[in-house]
Amino acid sequence: MKLKIGDQIKYFRRAKDITQEEFAIILGVSYQSVSRWENNTCYPDMELLPTIADFFEITVDKLLGVDESIEKAHVNEYLRQFQSEVSVGNINECITIARKGVAEYPNNFALLNKLMYALFMSGDDDGNIPDWQENMKKYDAEITALGERITKYCPDQNIRLEATSRLAFNHCEMGRKEIGRAIYETLPSAEYSRENQMWWGLSDDEKLPFTRERIKQGFDIFTAGIYSLISYRLLPDEELITVFEKRIALDQIMYDGETPDEDWGKARLFYHYARTLLRLNKKPEAFDKLGIAVKCVNAFDNRHDETNHKSVLMGDIMVKKTDFETDDNRSLREIMRDKWLASPDFDSVRDSREFQEIIRALL
């Protein structure tokens, strides 16, 4: 078995943010020795291995690269537990799981990224976290430190870009918008993304699944833009009605006329549609859309662990219950009843029979 000690030393040295010269001084060896180790020209003396491992806070086995399969299995279990908890909004438990994983594997970037994500989510005002404002301030420095570490040293491009985007977002949320925007500017443009460029390197049997996945990703981006128009009311209400109609027609096209009900986004869409109609004093139409939202909410709360859909444009789509991520541990019924319907847009109909029927349907 070929030892990977040189690659391991280079990886962990960079994670510590020290140069070869600094590392050589710490160990009492020459700079040339460290360089030769990392080039896999030779190995460190056996008696140095415990010292090197202790410095990196890892085992000698890990330094030798002989326990990668064990670490991978353990890390995957931490990630599975994390995803299970974030799918039901248990953000504090997510933080606990991520911290435990990072304590065991302090240089695993997948776990560091999850810890950064959970700390950021704990400061979101859209969930039901009572201490979200305190969490924003409390975890700001740690989120920034984790983001800077991941973006500087993580070899996995997807993790690095995700952390870069979140780091920028955190700066913006904390009032440092100029810093956040400057970080956003470093992200690659969509024009040169893998999805736009990969086609020419694909084999014939890869082209259909690749194209369908690209369509699905494009659909997600497109609908996110439409949602921004709606939720931030970037257009007058009269024009937003047209946006809703086009969004619903788009769903019909993408899903071959059978749009799934057990979708959080669909429930939210028809809720916003009802609000807009009420602002235009179109009450019967508003209650019609609100009824569809309630149907979707109930379907979402009762969805199966796995749901399969098929579309000629997007192919087979399998959605796992644990794919959903939230910082609110209430059911969607509770969220709609206690939060969404608290909007002032419903004040004009709050005492009506139709509105009370909607409330009862959410109990």
In this predicted structure, what is the pLDDT of residue 137? 97
Rounded to 5°, the CA angle 343-321-170 comes to 60
Lowest mean pLDDT among 105-109, 127-131, 258-262: 105-109
In this predicted structure, what is the pLDDT of residue 113? 98
In this predicted structure, what is the pLDDT of residue 2? 55
Q: Which CATH number fits domain 68-187: 1.10.10.10, 3.40.50.300, 1.25.40.10, 3.40.50.11890?
A: 1.25.40.10
Tell me the average pLDDT of the chain: 94
In this predicted structure, what is the pLDDT of residue 66? 65
pLDDT tops 50 at residue 185: yes
In this predicted structure, what is the pLDDT of residue 105? 84
Q: In a 3-state reduction of DSSP, which class is residue 358? A: helix
The answer to whether the 5-64 and 68-187 domains have the same CATH topology is no
Q: Tell me which residue of 249, 266, 275 sits closest to 339, measured CA to CA.
A: 275
Lowest mean pLDDT among 194-198, 228-232, 354-358: 194-198
Q: Give the pLDDT confidence of 326-361 residue by residue, as tens digits.
A: 999 999 999 999 999 999 999 999 999 999 999 999
Q: Give the pLDDT confidence of 8-59 residue by residue, as tens digits.
A: 899 899 988 899 999 999 999 999 999 999 998 898 988 898 899 889 888 7
- pTM for the full predicted model: 0.83
Residue 319 sits at φ, ψ, to 5 deg, of -115, 125
pLDDT tops 60 at residue 162: yes
In this predicted structure, what is the pLDDT of residue 1? 42
User: Domain coordinates of the chain in residue numbers?
Assistant: 5-64, 68-187, 201-361
CATH class of residue range 5-64 = mainly alpha
pLDDT tops 80 at residue 300: yes
In this predicted structure, what is the pLDDT of residue 135? 97
Cβ atoms within 10 Å of 232's Cβ, excluding its own: 8
Residue 308 sits at φ, ψ, to 5 deg, of -115, 135
Percent of the chain exceeding pLDDT 90 equals: 82
